[in-house]
Chains A and B, each alone.
Chain A
């Protein structure tokens, strides 16, 4: 049984919400959907900042049911707002201490040291919030939320108010959170690329309803979902470093059902990496002889589904491996190619991958 179960139902103005979902024990769960789909409303319901009818059970304790509603200040949450919301009359240090002072915790000093170190806040402590850059403000806001020792961290588009440069500055900290933090994170965003970099799980929303929930790699390549029909459709693959070719500086990453080559040294053998492959970077060949072309990444795959995409193009859903036992892959090719190749479900093909993106920061697209 999941430790976190939520169900919300109700109207806000002329907007209707009816959702139910569970959250995993750890990791980042993205609440994703177009603007106005109710992402932020749901996050606010979890925090108790907005009240809709429903049930919310966390760790066996009821935060909300038909007869009781725990007010926000009595829920062990951390909330990171879109625009940081630092208290303008308090210094960075006192902003950070605000939540820390109000919790019962015997290891406050240790918590303080851990969080300020993790987010690199030491140098900012004596500054006023108005003297911070957008990225620094958001880092302080994240630190402030974490210092209240939350059992769940709620983040409402924490990067959307930032410029590109500040985003790049903050993403590594978020990725570190992801690795170091033992509590689940709910991350609201309308930016799929951000989610692809960070999230493990995804709850897909449309007009106040959950249309799918599951692991991010599973949802991205699901033919039933609208994600594959986005212009920037992509899949996420997790793999481990297998081999480094020092002569050509090539790293070989094993994924489920094949292996990928990246022209970059990705560190020690066995290290885990997250890779992103855009649908439009994937081509398909029916037959293939090694040494026929310059592609480094040519993987065996099986066609799982084919859907037309607009007038000229088609989305081909592939599964890696000759027996279709591996990870999902998405290819966007022209409908003409589809017809010329006479592609149909169940065909064994070769996926030609032009480039593999490494999901780390900064994101560098690697020619393969």
Chain B
């Protein structure tokens, strides 16, 4: 490793990317059905669930992190059950970060996907049903492909938001190199210890990365729209 990008930084980068990929994958698996249900249901509970999903948008990450810490702590009932099932406690581990990130980034994934499901409207879905497609079949053959732009936007936002996460991770994961020390925490550390150059490399890299991701998303969406 060269001087301006040492092994420690590389480790933090790898860990951040791993966390973001795992989180995004889980968010898509979890968020898509939630978004579908929110876009189609007419029941009142939908508004309650919708509000719960949206809460992380307004809560300070420290609040979320604090309660997650209490919930996952092996001293509690739920936390001890969890650590028994998974073999080790959740706080101050990669697993704990994943749980925190999934909850914290959920609204960023659910909202765009829900919007594009809502934009499909009843027409295409009814046409599919009249052509013998079961509701399950309609979801996979019509709804998912038509919601592609929303799914892309949701994934990108979820991924980027996880990469940039700081408060929840600090509350829940501390600062263990290779386990919970992600880029945002590393930058904070470098600044604290006056290693400004290293902080610059990571922070500047994040700006470049974010710019590229958003530009790429815009271009892909533009390409899809042109094909329509």
- Which A residues are within 8 Å of any B CB, using their own CB? 47, 49, 71-74, 77-79, 81, 83, 85-89, 98-99, 102-103, 128, 130, 144-145, 148
B145 contacts A89, C-beta separation under 8 Å:
yes
Given A49-B129, A87-B142, A130-B228: A73 touches B134 (CB 8 Å cut-off): yes
Interface size on B, residues (CB 8 A): 21
Given A88-B228, A89-B145: A102 touches B124 (CB 8 Å cut-off): no
CB distance from B227 to the nearest CB of A (A): 8
User: Hey, what's the 0/1 contact readout for B172-193 against A, CB within 8 Å counting as 1?
Assistant: 0000000000000000000000
Quick check: is B8 within 8 A (CB to CB) of the other chain? no
B131 contacts A98, C-beta separation under 8 Å:
yes
Q: Which residues of A contact B148 (CB under 8 A)?
A: 89
User: Hey, what's the 0/1 contact readout for B9-49 against A, CB within 8 Å counting as 1?
Assistant: 00000000000000000000000000000000000000000
The 5 A-B pairs with the shortest beta carbon distances in the complex, nearest first, are: A99-B131, A79-B130, A102-B132, A72-B129, A85-B127
A77 contacts B130, C-beta separation under 8 Å:
yes
Q: Which residues of B contact A144 (CB under 8 A)?
A: 131
8 contacts between A and B (CB under 8 A): A73-B132, A79-B130, A81-B123, A86-B127, A87-B128, A89-B148, A102-B133, A103-B132
Quick check: is B197 within 8 A (CB to CB) of the other chain? no
Q: Which residues of B contact A148 (CB under 8 A)?
A: 130-132
- Of B123, B126, B137, B141, the residue contacting A72 (CB under 8 A) is B126
Given A85-B123, A88-B228: A72 touches B130 (CB 8 Å cut-off): yes
Q: Which residues of B contact A103 (CB under 8 A)?
A: 132
Q: CA of A99 to CA of B128 in the docked complex: distance in angstroms?
A: 8
Quick check: is B146 within 8 A (CB to CB) of the other chain? yes
Q: Which residues of B contact A86 (CB under 8 A)?
A: 127
CB distance from B22 to the nearest CB of A (A): 29
CB distance from A281 to the nearest CB of B (A): 41
CB distance from B153 to the nearest CB of A (A): 17
Given A88-B228, A89-B146: A81 touches B127 (CB 8 Å cut-off): yes
Q: Which residues of A contact B133 (CB under 8 A)?
A: 73, 98, 102
19 further A-B pairs in the complex, CB-CB below 8 A; given A102-B132, A148-B131: A49-B126, A71-B129, A73-B129, A73-B130, A73-B133, A73-B137, A78-B130, A83-B123, A85-B123, A85-B127, A87-B128, A87-B142, A87-B146, A88-B124, A89-B145, A98-B128, A102-B131, A128-B227, A144-B131
CB distance from A72 to the nearest CB of B (A): 4
Query: Taking each of B130, B141, B142, which has the highest tally of chain A beta carbons within 10 Å of its own beta carbon?
Result: B130
User: Hey, what's the 0/1 contact readout for B109-147 against A, CB within 8 Å counting as 1?
Assistant: 000000000000001101111111111011001100110
Segment 171-228 of B: residues with Cβ below 8 Å from A: 227-228
B130 contacts A88, C-beta separation under 8 Å:
no
CB distance from B40 to the nearest CB of A (A): 15
Closest to A47 in B: B130
Q: Which residues of A contact B141 (CB under 8 A)?
A: 98
- Of B127, B134, B142, B146, the residue contacting A79 (CB under 8 A) is B127
Q: CA of A99 to CA of B131 in the docked complex: distance in angstroms?
A: 5
- Of A72, A85, A88, the residue contacting B146 (CB under 8 A) is A88
Q: Which residues of B contact A102 (CB under 8 A)?
A: 131-133, 137
CB distance from A202 to the nearest CB of B (A): 24
Q: CA of A103 to CA of B133 in the docked complex: distance in angstroms?
A: 10
Q: CA of A145 to CA of B129 in the docked complex: distance in angstroms?
A: 11
A85 contacts B124, C-beta separation under 8 Å:
yes
Closest to A89 in B: B145
Q: Which residues of A contact B134 (CB under 8 A)?
A: 73
Q: CA of A78 to CA of B146 in the docked complex: distance in angstroms?
A: 23
Closest to A147 in B: B131
Q: CA of A81 to CA of B126 in the docked complex: distance in angstroms?
A: 10
Closest to A149 in B: B132
Q: CA of A148 to CA of B127 in the docked complex: distance in angstroms?
A: 12
Q: Which residues of B contact A98 (CB under 8 A)?
A: 128, 131, 133, 141
Q: CA of A34 to CA of B227 in the docked complex: distance in angstroms?
A: 40
User: Hey, what's the 0/1 contact readout for B142-167 against A, CB within 8 Å counting as 1?
Assistant: 10011010000000000000000000
Q: Which residues of A contact B142 (CB under 8 A)?
A: 87
CB distance from A108 to the nearest CB of B (A): 13
Q: CA of A183 to CA of B45 in the docked complex: distance in angstroms?
A: 44
Q: Which residues of B contact A99 (CB under 8 A)?
A: 131-132
Closest to B144 in A: A89
A87 contacts B126, C-beta separation under 8 Å:
no
Q: Which residues of B contact A71 (CB under 8 A)?
A: 129
